[in-house]
Amino acid sequence: METQTETEQSAILCVDDEPIILIALKEELKKQFGSEFQYEVALSANEALSVIDELVSTGVNVILILSDWLMPGLKGDEFLITIHKKYPNIRSIMITGHVDEAAIERVKKEAGTYAVLPKPWDSKQLMDAVKVCCNKN
């Protein structure tokens, strides 16, 4: 049941305040999915909000956000809840080295976040979650 037109590009957005994490995530996604998706990165939740608005305004279908939790400014749970309210169809996965049980519960309940994975992440576990979120399983 593919409703995507040939011209519509789907994007996955990675959000983390550590550039090395963004590089690693992007490389893993490219290795798994090749040119099937457009891969975008943002170093903060506020930058990510701008990136998503820009992509959506140019007709890009943002299908998934991989986000850190502990970032300067807006934390990952607040960011994903904000995005979910504005764009309810965008799926999300949170990847974090810091566990805040209350934030995890909130993000799952209020943003519909599919999974919360620890850093360092398990590659297979992450790619399996991405496949589910992108309907590639």
List the pLDDT tens digit at each of the 137 positions of the chain.
Answer: 444 444 479 999 999 999 999 999 999 999 999 999 999 999 999 999 999 999 999 999 999 999 999 999 999 999 999 999 999 999 999 999 887 899 999 999 999 999 999 999 999 999 999 999 999 87
Using CA atoms, how far residue 7 sits from 3, 4, 83, 133, in Å, is 12, 8, 24, 21
Residue of 102, 55, 51, 54 lying closest to 75 (CA atoms)? 102
Please state which CATH class domain 10-133 belongs to. Answer: alpha beta
**Domain positions in the chain:** 10-133
| pTM for this entry | 0.92
